[in-house]
Amino acid sequence: MKVELNLARAESRRERYVLAWAVPALALGLAGLLYLGHSTTRELGRYRQVHASLAGLQEQDSHLREREAALRKDLGQPQFREVFREVQFVNGLIERKQVSLTELATRVTKLLPPDARLAGLALVPKTDQLTVRLVITAKNEEAVENFVSNLEDSPDFKDPLIANQGFEEQGSGGGPVTVSCSARYVPEAH
C-alpha cells in the first residue's frame, strides 16, 4: 500500500495577494528603473554640453586675458604713453556732465535786468573748469551794475571778472552801454 503524504501548507489569502501583485510591481519597478536610466543618460549629456561650453568660455577668457596683457605691454611703451594720457583726458571729459548751451543761456538770461540783453555768449573750456564769456548791452550803467551784482550772487557762476574795466558808451547822448565779462560756470552747484 502506498501512502501519500502532503506536507505542503495551504496558501493564505495574504500569500495569494502578494503573489498576484508581484508581477505588476516587478513591471513597475523595471519601468521606473528604465526611466531613471534614461533620465540619467539625458542629464549626463546635458552636463557634458555645459562642461564643453564652460571649457570654451574659459579658453576664450584666457585668450582675452593674454591679449589684454599684450596690449597693456604695448601701451607701456614710451611712444604710446602720451596717446594713452590724451585718451584718458578725453574720456574724463566725456564722462563729465555735458554742458547744454540752452540751459546756460537760460541761466544767464535769468540774471539780466529788464533794461539789458545778452549780446554775446561764449563757452571756453579749460583743463578742469568751464569759463563763460558774456557781452551785455544795456540802456544804462545801472542795468549793467545790476547784472554784475546778480552774476556775483548766482550759485551757477563763480569768480566773475569784468574784461573791460570801464563802461563803453556807444554813440552820443547816453546811448546803450556794453560790458564784457567772464565767470567760471559751475553747473554742479544745483
CA dihedral 48, 54, 59, 60 (to 10 degrees): 130
> Is it the case that residue 132 has pLDDT exceeding 50?
yes
Q: Tell me which DSSP letter residue 140 carries.
A: S
Q: Which position has the grid cell 555768449?
A: 121
Residues 107-127 have a mean pLDDT of 84
pLDDT in tens, 66-113: 999 998 888 778 877 777 777 877 777 666 656 777 888 888 889 899
Query: Is the overall model pTM greater than 0.85, yes or no?
Result: no
Ordered by start, the domain boundaries in the chain are: 14-95, 101-189
More reliable by pLDDT, 18 or 99: 18
8 A C-beta contact, residue 154 and residue 111: yes
Q: Tell me which CATH code domain 101-189 carries.
A: 3.30.70.2830
Task: Write the pLDDT tens digit of every residue in 135-181.
Answer: 888 888 888 888 888 988 888 888 888 887 544 444 555 667 888 88
Query: For residue 36, is pLDDT > 90?
Result: yes
What pLDDT sits at residue 127? 62
Between 114 and 85, residue with greater pLDDT? 114
Specify the pairing of strand 177-185 against strand 168-169: antiparallel
* Alpha-carbon span 107 to 183, nearest angstrom: 13
Average pLDDT of the chain, as a whole number? 83
Q: What is the pLDDT of residue 189?
A: 45
Residues in the chain: 190
Which one has a higher pLDDT value, 12 or 25?
25
- How many other C-beta atoms can be found within 10 angstroms of the C-beta atom of residue 112? 18
